[in-house]
Structure 1
Amino acid sequence: MLEMNNAFNISILASGSTGNSLYLESPQKRILIDAGLSGKKITSLLAEVDRKPEDLDAILVTHEHRDHIHGVGVLARKYKLPVYANEKTWEAMAPLIGKVDVEQKHIFEMGKVLTFGDLDIESFGVSHDAAAPQFYRFYKDGHSFVMLTDTGYASEHVRGTIRDADAYLVESNHDLEMLRMGAYPWSLKQRILGDRGHLSNDDGALVMTDILGDRTKRIYLGHLSKENNMKELAHMTMEETLTRYDLGVNYQFQIFDTDPDSATELFAI
């Protein structure tokens, strides 16, 4: 058991169109949310924050796209980890991750709250072109952390579910002009821009204007496209939008970047 004075410690191990994984620990539990890189790469990312995969208690999965599940099967088999996903995601994911023993397979249905040790984890559905994509809000001792990426828009229901968390990982996938002028085929551009695609820098910033509250201290910008975005653009768009809405940028809360290849420092909530 960890000696911690905080509700959570969190590191966004990797975030981007090439692979996604997040590490969250409480005094009782250590969880990986998504494992969209190789087992070897995730092990090295955990080492960047002085953590080891053999100490994990579970893997939670958001949806079955490769950039979220690439290492799930390998890690589950090697470290005998329970894996949690909803039923439709399991059906879509099972052929892609190799054999996982039945006792390691756990159903976490959309819209439910799972009590896992000292954590309460709320799942909520999002609008993305996967079988049944869901993301999570983690609660402990009156504090909470929200993940919201891989969605074409945030409905009123989702916004109500995720308001006023202490910290967020929110999608800033693409800059609209870079995507429109870029080399992607039109069909792919339509997918990204559609209601089941990804939030743009502008979309993600507008969502944050509606959901951040007095508790909010940290906003992490996630799932940036390597081809259609830049950290500086995403950061500037979020900062300028929240400033325009007269919100407390850089004094009530801070905005942070993430990276597809290196972990953020562990931060406490």
Structure 2
Amino acid sequence: MSRPQALQMDLFAQAGVGVRVVRPEIGSAIPTPRAAARAETPRVCVLGSGSGGNSTVLNHAGRSLLIDAGFGPRTTTQRLAQAGLTLSDLSAICLTHFDTDHFRKTWIRPMVDLGITLYCHHWHLPDLRKVQNNQQLFDAGLVEPFDDKPFEVWDGLEASTVRLQHDRQGTIGYRFDTRDFAVGLATDLGHAPEHLCVHMAGVDVLCIESNYDEHMTVNSPRPAWVNRRNLSDSGHLSNEQSLAAVQRIAELSPHGNPRRVVLLHRSSQCNHPMKVQRCFETDPAIAKRVTLTDQRRRTRWITAPPLRAVRRRQQTLARVRVRESA
């Protein structure tokens, strides 16, 4: 029986919202040097993103982590299998926050059984304490709280974070850096402050929320308080706000980064792929880099060729200058 295929939605397809079926990657028994180099480059696969669940897997140097675990272990196992992975391949879960569409309590037992480390900000420890059976994680020594300083997830992969405004508890944006590659992820944020754009400057792959269309939200049948919350600075990013954030990050980034832009958390009630497409097509240079995620299916593996060493050094220096001037 053939393995399920991943559905890739690329906004730069010529006819409407392009939907391309991308065949799963087939490993070679004897990898070429070029293939081996690609295997060392971090890559991301969004297992699904929306109000019903959010989870992204980052793979680097033969190890994998989840950013959020908003689907149950069974669904996650199925989608990981489509991407060529198993739960046993996961070393860690990094959480943006503890809303149920970002962390399910059913993960506690599998994490303990498999020794999967949970990284969360000290800011969110009170929310973790409210999760049923959370003490099992503490007893197993699997909870790794972090503060605002960078930390090493594993050898060669450093995480740095930024705190963002969302509802009462806020959320965390992540940047993952290796020696020659960077991935950024920010979701569930009511607005994109300048310090977020500075933090994400220079990433090769940027995953960012594009949650709602303002007109659809204002005219939706949802309760008025829900719409007010989503439209506020503590709610979610609209398509226009998302585009503006990507443009600002691109402005701060040398050498054409981010070279891939992955749009997360699209509302099923207050947004539509065509709305996202029309918004991002106003900037053709950005639009051709965009991948739109979906709630019900994973993306293909997403990465970009590493920059040449001289360009990477220039980019690192540029990022330092941007931070110092912020």
Instruction: Verify same fold: TM over 0.5.
Output: yes
Asked if 1:163 is matched to 2:198, the reply is no
1:5 counterpart residue number: 37
Cα deviation digits, residues 69-124 of structure 1 (max 9, x gap): 01542431332211010123121123225233320111122x32111221011111
- Aligned residues of 1:29 and 1:57 also touching (Cα < 8 A): yes
2:258 counterpart residue number: 216
The SS at the match of 2:131 is: helix
The SS at the match of 1:96 is: coil
Larger Rg: 2
Asked if 1:25 is matched to 2:62, the reply is no
In the TM superposition, what are the counterparts of 1:1-269 in structure 2 within 5 Å?
4-6=36-38, 7-70=41-104, 71-99=106-134, 100-102=136-138, 103-109=141-147, 111-116=148-153, 117-212=155-250, 213=253, 214-240=256-282, 242-243=283-284, 247=285, 249-250=287-288, 254-269=289-304
Q: How many residues align structurally?
A: 260
Cα deviation digits, residues 11-63 of structure 1 (max 9, x gap): 01111111000100110531111001111011111111011011111111110
Q: Once superposed, which parts of structure 1, at least 4 consecutive aligned residues long, lie more than 3 Å away?
A: none
Q: What CA distance in whole angstroms lies between the structure 2 residues aligned with 1:93 and 1:101? A: 10
C-alpha deviation, 1:126, in angstroms: 0.9
Q: Which runs of 5+ in 1 are unaligned?
A: none
Paired AA for residue 239 in structure 2: N
The SS at the match of 1:190 is: helix
Cα deviation digits, residues 144-168 of structure 1 (max 9, x gap): 1110110011111111111121111
Identity %: 25
Paired AA for residue 84 in structure 1: Y
Q: What CA distance in whole angstroms lies between the structure 1 residues aligned with 2:228 and 2:286? A: 34
Computed over aligned residues only, the root mean square deviation of the Cα atoms, in angstroms, reads 1.8
Q: What CA distance in whole angstroms lies between the structure 1 residues aligned with 2:48 and 2:180? A: 27
Per the normalisation by structure 1, the TM-score is 0.91
The SS at the match of 2:125 is: helix
The SS at the match of 2:85 is: coil
- Aligned residues of 1:12 and 1:23 also touching (Cα < 8 A): yes
- Aligned residues of 1:39 and 1:74 also touching (Cα < 8 A): no
Q: Which runs of 5+ in 2 are unaligned?
A: 1-30, 305-326
Paired AA for residue 101 in structure 1: L
